[in-house]
Structure 1
Amino acid sequence: MNCHRHSKGSYGQVLHGSAKTTHAIRAELQRSKASVAQLAERFGINEKTVLKWRKGRLVEDMPMGPKARRSTVLMPVEEAAIIVLRVQARLPLDDVYIALKDVIPHLNRSSLNR
């Protein structure tokens, strides 16, 4: 049984769901003089995973998901522009989105319906 395939690694370390290696294995990948192919075979992981951990200095995972949060909150003036186009011009959602997407860069179609 490969302990590095479970959500808990050595010393009670909790890994994210798609983690294939523990901190101990990552440190071994960085220290080892063995070939990439040998290490991949030994730990039952892809060669790309070996290369990933070999080039890094840390054994911690980077946060998953987007690097920066995008705000979906509209300013009152932006909401007013949307309402004018929706109500007074009687434009459908898709047309409002097309008309305003260059003026309001963070606008997405779902924020029009709120």
Structure 2
Amino acid sequence: MNRTIKEATVKRYHYDSHHKFEEHLGDFIGAYNFGRCLKTLKGLTPYEYICKIWTPEPECFRIDPTHQMPGLNTVSTETSSLC
């Protein structure tokens, strides 16, 4: 994990300030954790797993998790995997 972070941030970009580095690092870690497939979730990302659980039991959730997806407000007929 440390090598992945270093290669994606420090070795790839030049930062004018420590604040810029911390901001980019936070964004990278958020995206990495959001898109990473986990063995404990049977190869799904955390978001895909939540959507899978929500489908049969929507009453267990207060809000629709598909409304929390980052990015553009577009409806897709296919679900693409980040893995």
TM-score (norm 2): 0.26
- Name the larger-Rg structure: 1
Larger RCO, structure (CA 8 Å, separation 6 or more) = 2
TM-score (norm 1): 0.22
